[in-house]
Structure 1
Amino acid sequence: MKNTATASILKKTALALALVAFLIGGGANSAKAQFCCGEVSACDGNCTTISQQQTEGTIQHVHDEFTNHREWLIKTFFEQNILPALMLMTEQLTTTAMQQVMIIGSFLDAKHQLETQRLFQELMARAHKDYHPSEGMCTFGTITRSLAASDRNTDLSAMAFSNRVIQRELLSGDTLAGGSQAADTLSRINQYREIYCSTSDNGNGLQPLCPAGSVDSTRINNDISYTNLVDEPLTLKLDLTAEGDPDHDANLHAQTISANEEDLFALASNLYAHRVAPSVALKFLTNQAGEPTDLARNYMAIRAIAAKRSVASNSFAAIASMKSQGEKEVEPYLYAIMKEMGVQSDVEIEKLLGDRPSYFAQMEILTKKLYQNPNFYTELYDKPANVERKTVAMQAIELMQRRDMYRSVLRSEATLSVMLETALMEQQDALSNEIRQLNEDGELVTLE
């Protein structure tokens, strides 16, 4: 079908070319035409035959020429010249493109490599910046050393102090009051005459009672001065463990206890149960049948009073024990902080913080003194990570302080509840008496 269409096209093309040739060359060949056929108007059949023969030859010639041209165009021009050139061009373009892609890939690799190196360098620089603690951050960690041990020593001192107060009130045999009420009073008078007496008191009229005066003038009236003994110092030489034994030698009155410990016990004796309850003879506690007597019931009332006093004295014991001596490891660092604040004398620092600073002294520095140093504020111009670390450390300190406040509130709550119970005792007794005076009909019986 394709060959037929091609032949038809070639035939039409040949006819068109013949017509053009005839029109163009008609004048030049008129003599031959006249010779062959005469004038065209008089052309006969022979002329037609010759024209038909020329037409077929022309068509065949045109067909052959187109065929040759096609063969030349495809076989020679395209396949032998254009196609190899295109193949070479394609190969060259492909090679060049691959080389360019390789170059682009190298650029991309170099870009990612440089970005990765920059990222590593940024992370390294950030790590050096963020994980390089400042001196101020180290201060928090240094001051809190042994803080837990000091807190534990506080609890131990409070328990021992409270037990001693109860033993004295109950006339326990392990105390000076164990003998009797009189023994407690006499022992305290002798202690007052030897340690706490000031001849200038009582209108300069205590010379007969205290002829020798106090053995240690720094302890005069410490048995009654809460401010001088407990409130002012940050640390007391109060340590009931073996580590507190070296402080006993400094006591000019008794080498079995430190001066602060003896003063605290004397102050507690004046504050709570100044007059202890009298002892009850054994034979009066039970009858011959072994049943409790009325004196036994009175002794239980004495114990109830002692229980209420123990709640009140617990606050005193807690405050005093918070100022008991801590661990010695933290002392050099606390002294160094005070020197940074301008106190250069070790003697003055020891007077302020005490020997082996207490839990109270450590918290005093952590929650107050540390922020009175200008260096704390200048060091806030620091790396953001260090500032955040300081913030977290301060929040932890705040939690500890709030915990101490919580325990103080609990003690206040216990004291308030005992006060309320004591205030209701009279009303309870009055109501009980009225109930006892009711007869069987529920009427109040009055004695005439």
Structure 2
Amino acid sequence: RALAMAEMNADYNTFLLGRRALDRQTEKAHGVASVGTAEDIDDRLIQFRKRYCDPNDNAGLLEKVCAEDIDSATMNKDIDFGRTIGTPWTLALDFSDSEKTGDEQDVLALSSNLFGHSVFENIPDAYFENPQNAYKILDMRSLIAKRSVAQYSFDALTGMKAEGPAEMDKTGGYMKAVLDQLGIPESDIPTLLSGGEATQNGTDTDALLKPSYYAQMEVLTKKIYQNPSFYMTLYDTPANIDRKGAALRAISLMQNTDMLKSRLRSEMLLSVLLETELDPLYKEAQGALDRMRPKGEPDK
């Protein structure tokens, strides 16, 4: 049911999220932070006032800062991980086109607040003429590399929740039938599978149901087993039971692969954390070695 297509779409959006974050932190030309910290902060502040500002925050003192026509549904979504990414099964994300959705704005705003909140200032050409500055430039790139490892877990989860391509419209109908059998109200199913943005106009046709890889795996690895009819159908012919067993083993294999990827990301995070914790000890040992070197002896 197009699960492989949804997985490829998830990987692609994960890649694009990582590329956008790297372009922002390295201040790539014509990017969101190409001029430096000041432009990046100004643009995000304008977006905050128009989309995320809650006039009740800060004891109500933000009322004069917030735009008058701000939508209450988007307030604080730039800092609310649970509402922006954690809870929805599917998000209206497709970074391969030029169309900007509300979910894309919220995800990118949250990402900017979590990782690299303040980007580096632009480095002038004259800075590279001094050889001593080379260490500072490499330290900057080292920090960006460590951030990219931390952000990869965020990007991977977000990518898995990106809505599927248009070719997956029939998949939504299948998933809708499964959830309907579980007793979930029909009015809640489109929002559950496709996120709030896909159904905000009150339309809930199967064409809008393009569940993400995350949503499909949620149904295949959990929800179908909460339906008593699943166990009743096990009283079937041996051939059908064997086919169901093969399908369950295939689903289990996919789930184990996802768990392996998650553990590999955790391993990378722990290794970077360990390296960061050891950095002061390395500098201390290097300083002691430098003091032991006889004066006038060149560095090797």
Q: Which has the larger radius of gyration?
A: 1
Partner of 1:258: 101
Aligned to 2:13: 157
Residue of 181, 184, 203 corresponding to 1:340: 181
Structure 1 pair 439/339, CA: closer, same or farther in 2 (3 Å)?
A: closer
Structure 2 partner of 1:84: none
Match of 1:270 in 2: 113
Instruction: Give the count of matched residue pairs.
Output: 278
Q: Give distance in 2, aligned partners of 1:308 and 1:170.
A: 13
The answer to whether the Cα contact below 8 Å between 1:272 and 1:313 also exists between their aligned partners in 2 is yes
Identical positions, percent: 37
Greater share of helix residues, 1 or 2? 1
Q: CA deviation at 1:344?
A: 4.6
Q: Does 1:282 align with 2:125?
A: yes
Deviations 1:28-68 (A, max 9, x none): xxxxxxxxxxxxxxxxxxxxxxxxxxxxxxxxxxxxxxxxx
Mapped partners of 1:190, 1:297: distance in 2:
35
CA contact (8 A) 2:78 2:109 kept: yes
Q: Is the 8 A contact 1:197 1:220 kept in 2?
A: yes
What is the rounded CA distance, in whole Å, between the counterparts of 1:439 and 1:404 in structure 2? 51
Report the equivalent of 1:182: 38
Alpha-carbon shift at residue 352 of structure 1 (Å): 1.0
Provide the C-alpha distance between the structure 2 equivalents of 1:329 and 1:285, rounded to a whole number of angstroms: 56
Gaps of 5+ in 1: 1-144, 246-255, 287-291, 442-448
Checking the alignment, whether the CA contact within 8 Å between 2:13 and 2:95 is kept in structure 1 is: yes
CA contact (8 A) 2:50 2:67 kept: no
Code of the aligned partner of 1:387:
I
Matched, 1:374 2:228: yes
Q: CA deviation at 1:262?
A: 0.9
How big is each residue's C-alpha offset from its partner over 1:376-396, in whole Å with a ceiling of 9 and x where there is no partner? 011111112211211111111
1:304 counterpart SS class? helix
Does residue 302 in structure 1 map to residue 145 in structure 2?
no
Look up the match of 1:234: 89
1: distance between equivalents of 2:61 and 2:107?
26
- Structure 2: gaps spanning 5 or more residues: 195-208, 296-300
User: Against the structure 1 CA distance between its residues 372 and 306, is the aligned structure 2 distance closer, same or farther, given a 3 Å change threshold?
Assistant: same
1:359 to 206, 213, 230: 213
TM-score by length of 2: 0.89
CA distance in structure 2 between the partners assigned to 1:259 and 1:344 by the alignment: 25
Structure 1 position 241, deviation (Å): 3.2
Offset at residue 208 of structure 1 (A): 1.9
Query: Could you say what the CA RMSD is over the residues aligned between the two structures, in angstroms?
Result: 1.5
Question: What residue in structure 2 maps to residue 44 of structure 1?
Answer: none
Q: How far 1:180 sits from its partner (Å)?
A: 1.2
Distance in 2 (alpha carbons) for counterparts of 1:269 and 1:213: 24
Per-residue CA deviation, residues 105-136 of structure 1 (Å, 9 max, x unaligned), is: xxxxxxxxxxxxxxxxxxxxxxxxxxxxxxxx
Larger relative contact order (Cα-Cα within 8 Å, sequence gap ≥ 6): 2
Of the candidates 206, 209, 212, which is equivalent to residue 62 of structure 2?
206
Query: What is the CA-CA distance between 1:236 and the residue it aligns to?
Result: 0.5
Provide the C-alpha distance between the structure 2 equivalents of 1:359 and 1:390, rounded to a whole number of angstroms: 21
Per-residue CA deviations over 1:157-184 (Å, capped at 9, x if unaligned) read 0000001111111111232211111111
Question: SS where residue 79 of structure 2 aligns?
Answer: coil
Task: Give yes or no for contact 1:234–1:361 (8 Å, CA) kept in 2.
Answer: yes
Distance 2:177 2:260 in 1: 31
Partner of 2:246: 392
Q: Which residue is equivalent to 2:205?
A: none
Residues 307, 439 of structure 1: CA spacing in aligned structure 2 closer, same or farther, 3 A cutoff?
Answer: closer
**In structure 2, the residue corresponding to 1:356 is in which secondary structure?**
coil
Amino acid corresponding to residue 219 of structure 1 in structure 2: T
Question: 2:161 pairs with 313, 323, 347, which one?
Answer: 323
Distance 2:114 2:24 in 1: 13
